[in-house]
Structure 1
Amino acid sequence: MRQFGVALLSACAFCAASHNSYPADCESPEGFAQVLRNSLSSAAAIYLPGSEEFEEVTTRWSEFSTPTVNLAVVPATENDVVETVRRANVCGLPILAFNGVHGSSTTLAQDGKTATIGGGTSSKTVTDTLWASGKQTVTGTCECVSYLGPALGGGHGWLQGHHGLVADQFVSLNIIFADGTLKTIDSSSDLWWAMKGAGHNFGIVTSVTAKVYDIEHRDWAIETLTFSGDKVEAVYEAANRYLSNLPAEITNWSWWLNEADVDPDRPIILFFIIQEGATIVDPAYVNPFRDIGPISSETKSGSYRDLATWTLIAVDSAPCQIAGRANTRFPVYVREYNVTAQREAYDIFAANVGGANSPFSGSTFLFEGYPQGGVQGIDSDSTAFAYRSDSLLIAVRLGYEPTGKELDDQAAQLGNQLRDIIHRGSGYKDLHVYVNYAYGNEKPEGWYGYERWRQARLKELKHKYDPQGHFNFYAPIE
């Protein structure tokens, strides 16, 4: 099965190779591809620019600040990744590992306590395969993303109130380092700490063995309440009062987004209260919000596998579609809602995004409130993920058809402005950022924590395991 891809980057990568005494095969993508084919398994694929397959495997969810790819490799085995990295090193070619909806099947270990998951396996595949065996584990909430991508940055999920972050489930990792060596690491490795929160920086993870659990509750319920924008203060005051310090069974999300059939001019508030182990959400959580006066309220029941559809992040939902749009996100962690900041942010968001004529009309503002017991029950110093004490993850996503630098700059200005409003309202001096949503301008301290010992430890490990900075493309440590 195709697990993930490896892209050879930079418009002038092969130009540079031809001028630095590299082998002749390094002088063009075609020459490199021919040599590489002889080293890979028969099931691996290599695609050059100009082919439909190349376009398919290199098209990104967000067409913002995209890398230039000269060659795409879709490996079929771990050794295919090893050979690709080794030969790219010989030619001095930069590489970028990526994963998405392709992946090897999740295999349940004989003890029923762990599963081995291929590097590009989607979260939906993990959930569905484990569910069929009466098991489950913490995955990212969005069905269409890979299991491992969010995990390397910590990884939030519906079950984190019980078990912690996605990264907290790691038992061992198969990782290919910059020199092309493949090793299995576990808690005995000094790198283990860094892989749980800053793992994108150290190599290509081809598979992970993770903890799995018996399904405790097959029933799940959701109450979806739709509010008009004039209810911002009332909704988030109630959220602070009734939905803080959530038990493991309760999750609260909300979206600000345009829904022309409900309000043609301003974004609405979609407010979700989700309960595990129930067919109807407990009225103690729901009634305070019904009393505010929603436009509508809808109750649904089903299983864990329905959550992504209910919350608009299933594989066929709009946010999961790859349609050549730019998608920029501006995340910030907070401990509770500042109602004044919520109102200010809503008004500016509505002024710039509301209505069909805005280039950002397809944008969203997402507020994720997860149960924190399982996350905060793990020592914060034990992983590179630094923000276990934060209760809420907030992120504006500006989606638009890319037309050039002017619109990109406009999106950056608006996104940073909205995030700054929420940050100022948080009372935090420093900006706390979920690295998996990062825009890119937040700096390593924002992604990995402001404590000097954290930054020093990450840099020391980076110099040991990737001294040449081969894996510096995503949220680099320095």
Structure 2
Amino acid sequence: MRVFDQIKVAATLASVWAAAAATCVPRDVQWAKLASKLSPSAKLYLPGTSAFDDAVARWSNLSTPVANAVVVPGTEHDVSETVKFANQNALPFLATNGVHGSITTLGKMTHGIEIHMSQLNSVQIARDGKTATIGGGILSKDLTDALWAAGKQTVTGTCECVGYLGPALGGGHGWLQGHHGLVSDQFVSLRVVLANGSLVTVDSKSDLFWALKGAGHNFGIVTSVTSKIYDLVHPNYAMETLIFSGDDVEAVYRTANEQWLTGNATQPVDIINWSYWFFDPTTDPEKPVIAFYIIQEGVDAVDDAHVAPFRAIGPIATQSQSGTYRDLAAWTGIDLAATPCQKTGNANPRFPIYLKQYSPAAQRQIYDLFRQATTNASTPYAGALFMFEGYSQQGVKALRDDATAFAYREDNLLVAPLLTYAVPSDPAARAALDARTQALGDRFRQILYAASGESTLHTYVNYAYGDETARAWYGSEAWRQQRLRSLKRQYDPQGRFSFYAPVA
């Protein structure tokens, strides 16, 4: 999309948000009364201002929430006061931060208050160096950099521009999970604003602690979390990038299985395998390429034992890189300057599925479908990606399956097509393209699911499209669903937290 077209789309979206806010909000809401309850450092933005437009803009513009006002809390008590005010005025509310959630359930918020957590971004390391208290609005990169400066690190999401806590409340995958487990596995305690506006501390003595670690979007707004942190032992990393033709799709993923996932093979704790499919006509003018990444911790070059079997396939190109942990996002195209961190006005739905291993036959089927979808002359999906994330799993699997609300500790791979497309201005054309995209994404996922051997769909709630159901987001076991619904009735009986993958 040309730059002036992007600006036009952004302006159109801003006017739509403002119009929706003006028509949906109750006319007697006294915003000045809310402002009087907030701390001096808090901010209140209303429609018609650039600050409001910037705050409500999202990474994906498919089924977005609509706000009539934005509160940017300066203290945790501002969050509490905002929730109480919303309740008193029968207004919905939604906490936001990195705004990368693209789930369609967000669109059910047609008016209300956005609570933008960005000012709650502090990091305080405990004297013993074993924990840090982290503000609920910090971004992953800012947390990583703050800890790095102190010779520390912890598990965060991989993309630099996403919030730290958004992914964590859904479990949270990260580069260090092989050592320490998921992002949420690091929680020691949390400060949480509940649905009634009360501010509480939640730790292992509370039944809510279990739910916050995997289904947390349903139960409160986390203003801060005390998390385990670790000494920085292996700062150096290396990555080998191998670019393959799509003709080699079966061979690439069969080799990955043989190396790390099947038989007696185990993916070492210091190895991560990732890959992307995308159409790059400068490399192959006819079909998408496969970019396969082998990442290794604590070395300056990836061990040849991991790379040689893939080189034997015959890649189009290879590249070796060395650096530190903080280079990983740039190497894999998810740093602050990369496309996934820009708000372009596009829709960016994903259709995630967890797998235990690759099915080479299914990889061929979805590759051929992806090729057809991304390379024909009239496609809206020329910029689409297919993502395959293969983290080391030792730390994740060290906990029992029932330890937290995150349900999929036995799965090894996180797979998702990202079907990015420009949003048509005509409502009928937009509805048609949205429906076409959903059908395509579900078809990709159904092919992988059919080959997985699983009896139920396993999905990652943080990548969710929105049509997967609570059984797929949080585990299909009856006891899981019953426990979550029981906690929901206890802590949020009126369903105030129901815009992001609701448990019921």
Specify if TM > 0.5: yes
Tell me which amino acid in the other structure corresponds to 2:495. Answer: G
- 5 Å-filtered alignment, 1:31-180, equals 31-100=29-98, 102-103=118-119, 104-180=121-197
Once residues 52 and 305 of structure 2 are traced to their aligned partners in structure 1, the CA distance between those partners, rounded to angstroms, is: 53
Matches within 5 A, 1:38-437: 38-100=36-98, 102-103=118-119, 104-244=121-261, 245-354=266-375, 357-403=378-424, 404-437=430-463
How many residues were matched structurally?
460
* Contact 2:18–2:47 (8 Å) recurs in 1: no
Unpaired segments ≥5 residues, structure 1:
1-8, 19-26
Q: Who is 1:22 aligned against?
A: none
After TM superposition, give the deviation of residue 265 of structure 1 in Å.
Answer: 2.7
Cα drift, residue 14 of structure 1: 8.6
Q: What whole-Å deviation, never above 9, does each CA across 1:417-448 have from its counterpart, x for those lacking one? A: 01111111111121000110111111100000
Shift of 1:174: 0.6
Measured in 1, the distance between the counterparts of 2:172 and 2:227 equals 13
- Contact 1:253/1:271 (CA < 8 Å) preserved in 2? yes
Instruction: Please report the TM-score for the alignment, with normalisation by the length of structure 1.
Output: 0.94
Asked whether the 8 Å contact 1:221–1:280 carries over to 2, the reply is: yes
Q: Once structures 1 and 2 are overlaid, which stretch shifts more, 254-263 or 382-391?
A: 254-263
Which residue of structure 2 aligns with residue 463 of structure 1?
489
Say whether residues 1:442 and 2:468 are aligned partners.
yes
- 1:14 and 1:323 map into 2 onto residues whose CA distance is 24
How far off is 1:393 after superposition? 0.6
Distance 1:105 1:184 in 2: 18
Q: Note the alpha carbon deviations across 1:291-338, whole angstroms, 9 max, x for none.
A: 100010000100000000011111111111111110000000011001
Q: CA deviation at 1:12?
A: 8.1
Question: What's 2:14 paired with?
Answer: none
**Offset, 1:67:** 1.6
CA drift at 1:100: 1.8
CA contact (8 A) 1:266 1:355 kept: no
SS of match in other structure, 1:65: coil
> 2 CA distance for matches of 1:16 and 1:268?
46
- Distance in 1 of aligned mates of 2:20 and 2:142: 37
- Contact 2:238-2:296 at 8 Å conserved across structures: yes
Task: Report how far residue 55 of structure 1 moved.
Answer: 0.7
| Deviation for aligned residue 1:391 | 0.6
Q: Distance in 2 between matches of 1:340 and 1:459?
A: 39
Q: Percent identity?
A: 55
Q: Which runs of 5+ in 2 are unaligned?
A: 1-16, 100-117, 425-429
Equivalent position amino acid for 1:62 in 2:
S
Distance 1:221 1:356 in 2: 38
- 1: CA distance, partners of 2:285 / 2:42: 49
Runs of 4+ in structure 1 displaced over 4 angstroms?
A: 9-18
Query: What value does the CA root-mean-square deviation take over the aligned residues?
Result: 1.6
